[in-house]
Structure 1
């Protein structure tokens, strides 16, 4: 796969991700949800931390939430730069299309969430008890690097009380699937899933790669 095709994939994922986030941010109040199907809802939440809403400050009292948010955003930027270099490297080495596709959508997803963290605090006002405005006159809800990631996809596939005869969880209320996520998260998860499930196909050597012996026989003196 060429760099041009990988760039198109990245652009498409980013476009879908950002359009969906901007629409939700400018049409929903924080906490508002709409039931599409019994197993699928559009539910607007904002995530100012890591996965599952975790914060760096949850692990130490030595740093404030504001500083922890900055550290997390900067870490994400460094990680995306690293993924970008990896993507360019595998394309130059003509690795498998499966590997390039997986890295490309991981890169797009990570970049999509970084855009939220870096710029959304400046571009939008608060969504609490109101629908946010784009480029409000009074300014945004946070400084640069301190924006929240917009999540909206919720799949409450099943919920209920577990059978009494089940060990540990018997008789307890259980809900699957609780996390709310976005298109960028889906891209990252899909890319990682491809690398795990199709590991051999993704990391196989290119058929165009020649060993020294093959080169000697194909180019006799």
Structure 2
């Protein structure tokens, strides 16, 4: 929801909602609190978004738009400054997602499902282009990929303690643990197929393969 430095009232309201929903949860935040943080009147919040539920839906839409990316302006992974800026801009989004999934609402379930579908399409595109390995069960891979990447948000308190960082959602911490995640996804963890063979053997024994 962030735009130019000279934010419109609607953008300021959206940013305030994203940050407050992420730090406190949707049910604990009032329209009045969002208006105060955005520096506008509660009536203006209602004018732009209709209700708190309208604001939550707008936040979900913004999160999904970030997941989808802009097909006409994809992130250049060779541009490290651009990648760092993208991660920094997504800091409120990480907090929002962490709170949304911990709250466990129907809206959070729908958001998760849509992220999985979007990710499945992205992985399939990567497979077609040759930079993602093909998968025997593409849907299961997409669901596990999303779950694995979101796990640090759900286990934030514990991961912060183990990594000895004060704020897991801060960009510096994100760069640290997500770099390890990308390395694991790129190079793998196991050096041979004994674990995979063990799982296949168990499935064969149970008659599921």
TM superposition score normalised by structure 1 = 0.24
Larger of the two Rg values belongs to structure: 1
Normalized per residue, the structure richer in helix is 2
Question: Whose RCO is larger (CA < 8 A, sep 6+)?
Answer: 1
Normalized per residue, the structure richer in strand is 1
